[in-house]
Structure 1
Amino acid sequence: MKLRSSIVGVLALALVTVTGCSGADESTKDSAGGSGLEKTKITVGTMPVVDTAPLQIAMDQGLFKAEGLDVTLTPLAGGAEAIPQLKRGSLDISFGNYVSFFSASAKGVIDLRIVADGFQSGPKTHVIMVPKDSPIQTPADLEGKTIAVNTKRNVASMLVRVAAKAHNVELDEDKNFVEAPFPEMEGLLKAGTVDAAQVVEPFGTFVGQNIGARIIWDTSEGPTADFPIAGYASTAEFAKANPNTAAAFQRAMAKAQALAADRANVVAAIPKYTKIPAEAAGSLAIGGFPTTLNATRLQRVADSMKEYGLLDAPLNVQDLIVADR
């Protein structure tokens, strides 16, 4: 979500380059609780999107410090940055979308492990929108039409194809989809350059308010209801060498994700790390924040990827999960 990778274009914070610590000498041992962390200082890749609100909550509430972790957040301008930075060790753990993570792992680009769940779709977090005067009423009307997505062959186009198939319409990645950054979709719809667009929050709210664009389908319902969107990953090497550190990160994030079940906590956090103003944060559609890693849930993503040609062979997600401790 690149699933969600282009979401951050308009919201991106200044990119910070931080080199993560390696090694596990006495200077990196936890001295606060005797928990035996292999590393106490870790660098985590993040993005200024609603999905990462729990990460901000964990920082604000001192949940990482309570686990003996000194966490430095590195804002990423897009999900594509996460994988090379994890690979070269400048990030220890990073937020990113599951489609990109699973694709990179399956292709052998990087040996990844999913450390913590992050975000799942909710009502109106991922929608298909059309101009207010468009004759398109349902996904069945998308046959032969052009649809803007932030990235082809990723979660955006996959969600649209799932919705269309539920309405007996087969869409083609090359013939039906055009790539466009989320901030540009409003202009494309207004000009009639595309027939529809797959839009995520906060852009869905803004496009509706600004040009009266209509939602014809919520891709967070039906076969893709509560669909796993993104999580936090490390390299397999990091997870193996730092099991206690990974477990401490998991515990802190589980607490933060639980706090994010209260919408008020998410709304309060959003303006602190994004450019979304406080007055707009309260009106956004917000999805779910799972507190545990569940292989069965995440397998939905891999199975859909295989069905829609984004994976050449089946992928067993269980093999990529770092068990909660």
Structure 2
Amino acid sequence: MKRWMKLSFSLLLISVLMISLAACNNHSQTKNKKLEKVRIAEVTRSIFYAPQYVALAKGFFKDEGLDITLTTTPGGDKTMTTLLSGGADIALVGSETSIYVYAQGSNDPVINFAQLTQTDGTFLVAREKIDNFSWDLLKGKTFLGQRKGGMPQMVGEFVLKKHGIDPHKDLNLIQNVDYANIANAFASGTGDYVQLFEPTASIFEKEGKGYIVASFGKESGHVPYTTFMAKESYMKENKATIEKFTRAIYKAQQWVQTHSAEEIAKAVEPYFPDTDLEIMKTVVDRYKSQGSYATNPVLDEEEWNNLQNIMKEAGELPKEVNHKTLVNTEVAKDVMKN
């Protein structure tokens, strides 16, 4: 009797284990099946895009069933080329690029669907330390600006004009240096002033290579500086994917809004292995304090019009485009409601 009971118990135990293993295996397979691959091409790697890295680090994309592949494609032109050629599903780049593509008569326009940053992210860096900076100090100096036609350069010119400086007459403007080489060019001795993103600007300051004297973001006001966009065809064919993606970004934006600069810096640290944590905290705090991180993914009409005004002022607006033509706010608004 005891032998029979032992045998029965052993068989029962084996059955339970087999069922548990099968269940775990099925759960794992189901989980893997749910993960959908989405390729992002980002215009640069910058703490300016902290909410994106938070979404990755905190697993917000995975929670939505998305497996993200992130590739850095330096420069708006390269990022847009990658998107249009099918090398990426979604691009994180300046909204002006979608206008350029539309103006060329594209049959498959690029649609902005989730805003990530809402101010310019660059800073004016001087070669020498200036205790009492004023913009007129740039007159007659050499200014190493950003690529012609890109948002950083257009905002730069917009701000200079705002302060009574003609960028093409009152200073020596250099804007033919490739985006990836601008910082190195300044470090090598080119220019009295340079327009830089973070964390490069703060790193230069720490190393004594330059000194931050002004913020272009504070000067230019709200603008859809960097947004997630995709081809219209992709958005139509992958509505659920776009919604999941936007929901993950919104979660990250809310997380960034409610956490300290130190917590944010620690969260995104894996994406900046060569950057000192203290520098990262300084950068995050600087961007948060000037309201650079969008708190939700909606790109509104006022921001869109401000973007086109800046482009027009720089002589780079090929044609005016209605907000509804290249911006989809429905997905972002639905995500926020739910």
Q: Give the TM bin, normalised by the shorter chain.
A: 0.7 to 0.9
Shift of 1:134: 7.4
Cα deviation for residue 106 of structure 1 reads: 2.7
Q: Within 2, Cα distance between the matches of 1:185 and 1:134?
A: 21
Which residue of structure 2 lines up, in the alignment, with residue 288 of structure 1? 293
Cα distance in 1, alignment partners of residues 124 and 151 from structure 2:
13
Alpha-carbon offset, residue 133 of structure 1: 6.2
Equivalence map 1:95-244=2 (5 Å): 95-108=92-105, 111-121=109-119, 125-132=121-128, 137-172=133-168, 176-180=173-177, 181-188=181-188, 191=189, 193-211=190-208, 213-222=210-219, 224-244=220-240
Alpha-carbon distance in structure 2 between the residues aligned to 1:240 and 1:93: 13
| 1:315 corresponding residue in structure 2 | 321
Trace 1:50-89 onto structure 2 (pairs within 5 A): 50-89=47-86
In structure 2, relative to structure 1, the CA distance for the partners of 1:156 and 1:236 (3 Å cut) is: same
Is the Cα contact below 8 Å between 2:57 and 2:268 reproduced in 1? no
The amino acid across from 2:282 in the alignment is S
> Deviations along 1:221-268, whole A, 9 cap, x unmatched?
23x134432111111110112112111111111111111222334311
Range 264-273 or range 39-48, more displaced: 39-48
Query: Closer, same or farther in 2 for the Cα pair 1:312/1:75, shift >3 Å?
Result: closer
Superposed CA deviations along residues 173-214 of structure 1, whole A, max 9, x for unmatched, are 9962334424315425xx3x3231112211221222222634
Structure 1: give runs of 5+ residues left out of the alignment. Answer: 1-30
Give the match's secondary structure for 1:80: helix
- The alpha-carbon deviation at position 159 of structure 1 amounts to 2.1
2:27 corresponds to: none
User: Residue in 1 aligned with 2:6?
Assistant: none
What does residue 273 of structure 1 align with?
271
Q: Deviations over 1:56-101 (max 9, x none)?
A: 2222322223223232223334443321221122211121122333
User: Taking every aligned residue pair, what percent have the same amino acid on both sides?
Assistant: 20
Letter in 2 for 1:119: T
In structure 2, do the counterparts of structure 1 residues 213 and 63 end up closer, same or farther at CA, with 3 Å as the change threshold? closer
Larger deviation, residues 134-143 vs 100-109: 134-143
Which AA in structure 2 matches 1:321?
A: V
Unaligned runs of 5+ in 2: 1-29
- Residue 147 of structure 1: how far off its partner (Å): 0.9
Query: Does the CA contact (< 8 Å) of 2:111 and 2:326 recur in 1?
Result: yes
- How far apart, in 2, do the equivalents of 1:282 and 1:243 lie? 36
Q: Give, in angstroms, the shift of residue 40 of structure 1.
A: 3.0
Q: Could you tell me how far apart the structure 2 residues matched to 1:318 and 1:127 are?
A: 31
Corresponding residue number in structure 1 for 2:18: none
- Helix, strand or coil at the partner of 2:293: coil
Secondary structure at the counterpart of residue 221 of structure 1:
helix
CA contact (8 A) 1:58 1:253 kept: yes
Q: Give the deviation of 1:151 after TM superposition.
A: 1.2
Letter in 2 for 1:184: N
2: CA distance, partners of 1:206 / 1:247: 37
Rounded Cα–Cα distance in structure 1 between residues aligned with 2:214 and 2:144 = 14
Is the Cα contact below 8 Å between 2:145 and 2:156 reproduced in 1? Answer: no
Q: What is the alpha-carbon distance in structure 2 between the residues aligned to residue 195 and residue 114 of structure 1?
A: 36
Cα distance, 1:207–1:227 mapped onto 2, change above 3 Å: farther
Instruction: Give the counterpart letter for 1:225 in structure 2.
Output: G
CA contact (8 A) 2:116 2:297 kept: no
TM-score relative to the length of structure 2 = 0.74
Amino acid at match of 1:299: N
For residues 62 and 205 of structure 2, what CA distance do their matches in structure 1 show? 41
Residues 134 and 291 (structure 1 numbering): CA distance in 2 closer, same or farther, change over 3 Å?
A: closer
Q: Tell me the TM-score normalised to structure 1 length.
A: 0.77
Count residues in correspondence: 285
Classify the secondary structure of the residue corresponding to 1:176: strand
Q: Aligned equivalents of 2:247 and 2:129: distance in 1? A: 49
Is the CA contact 1:131–1:213 (under 8 Å) kept in the aligned structure 2?
yes
| 1:305 Cα deviation after fit | 0.5
Relative to structure 1, is the Cα distance of residues 59 and 111 closer, same or farther in structure 2, using a 3 angstrom cutoff? same
Answer yes or no: is the 8 Å Cα contact 2:93–2:228 preserved in 1.
Answer: yes
Do the aligned residues in 1 keep the contact of 2:46 with 2:197 (CA within 8 Å)?
no
Query: What are the superposed Cα offsets for residues 3-32 of structure 1, whole Å, 9 maximum, x if unpaired?
Result: xxxxxxxxxxxxxxxxxxxxxxxxxxxx77
Correspondence 1:255 to 2:255: no
CA–CA distance in 1 between the matches of 2:165 and 2:66? 49
